Amino acid sequence: MTNNQSSSPRFAGFVMSVSTTIISLILLLPIAALFIEATTGLFSSATDAIDSTFADLVDTVLLQYLQNSLTIVSQTLLFACLFAVAPAWWCAHYSFSGRKYLQWLMVFPLAIPAYISAYIYTDALDYAGPIQSTLREFFNWQSPQDYWFFDIRSHWGASLMLGLSLYPYIFLLLRNAFEQRSRNLAQAAKMLGASDRKIFWTIHLPLARPALAIGCTLVAMESLADYGTVQLFAINTLTTAIYDSWLVYGSLASAAKISCLTLLFVIILVVFEKNSRKKQQHFDSRSHHPNERLPASHLKTAYIWLVCGLIVCLGFFIPLLTLVEYCVTYIDQNLNDTIIAHSKSTFFLAAIAALTATSIALLFNSQQRFIPCTSNQLKLSLSSLGYAIPGTVLAIGILIPLSQLDLWSNRFITSMGFEKVGLIFSGTSFALILAFVIRFAAISNGSIQAAYQRIPHNLDDASKLLKASKIKTFRKIHLPIMSPAILSAFLLVFIECVKELPASLLLRPFDFETLATYVYQFASDEQLEHAASAALLIIIVSLIPILLLSRSQKMQ
């Protein structure tokens, strides 16, 4: 082998290592910028540096915002567990007619953004809505003092909407955990005279605690990051405080400080979840025989379908059918060139972001595959950190360095004798694509990493024996095997980009709307019926990864 041939793989490995290091730094840049701005005010203008917005918020309403965030998170977890735990156990433990289809249906509410459901139920349950109006007419009630009715515009109402939208996270994880339940321990408990209910609470549910903890953490982070629902219900949380600090008060420093507070909240959630399972020890007490589901009686089957069907109807079918009705009633407003234009631009940006995130995932995972070491694993883990960052926090973290980069660029251009070009980075779609990539790189990483784990290492060894290069091994062996996983990663990131609202609201260019922001603008103006077709498009497209997820979970 010549010196040129031997140095070529080393050079390729060096280029890959430098590339992944630079990408890791870019992905971590928003977090670093947030902490620098929050502690030093380095990037603030002179007027913003002496701004007292954050101090005023601390003295007046910040504590209330924090309490509201805690309340929304805790109540959402309560509703999500209420909707998920029992159905997950029934689907894993019992055999009944239509069980396979019910499992699929239970995941469908994940496709409905919570702010869409919030508008629909608010319109139906408000004082002037059809339900209360019918009740007053039927019972001849004259005023609100004559009767009590659930106030949908409340913390409980917002948490209910979020719980209906997010419970599938817990349902999927718990159902899989219950599928792997201990048959031997249950049999031993029965021999000691324990009832089925006691076995569930003392054996099956505690053994499923890791899955429950992970699911609750996901729900908590998503509910903490929500902006559309709480804003629609006029509930001030940390997320709305970030948005108002930047767009209403014009204080980037205050937005950065509240973002750091929110990020600290997320870190506490993750650490608490891990520590809660740290001392748990699990031993394989399962028998070699698969768990046999118990046949459910006709009465039990009817009860399961009644409860689960009610949850699915509330979380999916009622919002879906309402949107269909809006589309039919207001067909002229829902079939226009504006929606088509917003759809094209949204799909184009989402495709670029999904392609970039999937390419980054391939680069990081293939590097760890060919050169397994601590540093490469660390870079792979850091590249997935963005998913834990709420969209509003991430948007502020991106605005800080990109705004400064725009200033430096314009100063350099003017120093060369040219006119200013304006906002190159922070005022264009570049900022939005960067936010999508950082936020959802973890999804593509997870899909590609799982695919790599299923490829036997002896294929790599055989390729080495045939003197094939790493690039050729990747192109001829890894890439064909991982094609389905790559497609899944692309689709999952694509759909998440289409649905993303908080980051899109803050980072979208002037006079530019994504489908999510377009729908939200009409919903916030209480005119969702005029954007029902766009909302339906989001839901239909969102069903694609849900079906893929259901398939990957082997719902049989």
Residues 314 and 389 in one domain: no
Q: How far apart are CA 170 and CA 181, in angstroms?
A: 16
| C-alpha separations of 215 from 390, 457, 488 in Å | 17, 32, 21
Q: What is the spatial distance between Cα 324 and Cα 540, in angstroms, rounded to a whole number?
A: 12
Determine the Cα–Cα distance for residues 452 and 111; give it in Å rounded to an integer: 28
267 and 371 inside one domain:
no
DSSP string, 450-495: HHHHTS-HHHHHHHHHTT--HHHHIIIIIHHHHHHHHHHHHHHHHH
Asked if 321 and 448 sit in the same domain, the reply is no
308 and 354 co-located in one domain: no
Q: What is the pLDDT of residues 91-107, one digit of tens each?
A: 988 889 988 889 889 98
* Whether 338 and 321 share a structural domain: no
In a domain, 343, yes or no: yes
59 domain residue, yes or no: yes
Domain end: 284, 305, 329, which one?
329
Find the helix packing angle between 53-60 and 252-276, rounded to 10°: 50
Place 46 in a pLDDT band, splitting at 50, 70 and 90. Answer: very low
In angstroms, the CA 312 to CA 310 distance is 6
Establish if 20 belongs to a structural domain. no
266: its two tokens: 């997320």
pLDDT tens profile 398-447 = 988 888 888 888 888 888 877 777 778 887 889 999 999 998 888 888 88
Low-confidence winner among 191-205, 248-262, 324-338 (lowest mean pLDDT): 191-205
Question: 36 lies in a domain?
Answer: no
Q: What percent of the chain has pLDDT over 70?
A: 88
Judge whether 440 lies within some domain: yes
Chain centre distance of CA 351? 18
Q: Which of 32, 38, 118 is nearest to 501 (CA)?
A: 118
521-548 pLDDT per residue, tens: 998 888 888 999 999 999 988 887 777 6
Closest CA to 109 of 153, 150, 164: 164
Distances in Å between the Cα of 404 and the Cα atoms of 37, 50, 54, 62, 133 are 12, 18, 21, 28, 54
Q: What is the mean pLDDT of residues 326-339?
A: 87
Q: How confident is the model at residue 1 (pLDDT cuts 50, 70, 90)?
A: very low
* Spatial separation of the C-alpha atoms in residues 499 and 479, rounded to whole Å: 29
Regarding whether 551 and 493 lie in a shared domain, the answer is yes
Residues 364 and 448 in one domain: yes
Residues 319 and 372 in one domain: no
- If asked whether residues 306 and 389 sit together in one domain, one would say no
Q: Distance (Å, rounded) from C-alpha 152 to C-alpha 124? A: 10
- CA nearest 73: which of 139, 155, 170? 155
The pTM (predicted TM-score) of the whole model is 0.85
Do 311 and 432 sit in the same domain of this protein?
no
* Structural tokens at position 515: 């489908």
Count of structural domains, the chain: 2
Identify whether residues 323 and 338 lie together within a single domain.
Answer: no
Whether the Cβ atoms of residue 85 and residue 169 lie closer than 8 Å to each other:
no
| pLDDT greater at residue 41 or residue 304 | 304
Residue numbers of the domain that contains 162: 48-276+295-329
C-alpha distances (whole Å) from 31 to each of 149, 200, 262, 386 are: 44, 42, 12, 9
> For residue 106, what is the domain's CATH number?
1.10.3720.10
**Which whole-number Å values give the CA distances from 369 to 24, 167, 453, 456, in the listed order?**
17, 35, 9, 11
Residue 248 and residue 361 in one domain: no
**Residue 191 domain flag:** yes
C-alpha–C-alpha distance, residues 502 and 391, integer Å = 5
Task: Quote the tokens at residue 137.
Answer: 């007419």
The residue from 329, 345, 374 where one domain ends is 329
Q: Which residue has the higher pLDDT, 86 or 206?
A: 86
Indicate whether 7 belongs to any domain.
Answer: no
Question: Of 329, 354, 374, which one is at a domain's C-terminal end?
Answer: 329
Residue 27 lies in a domain: no
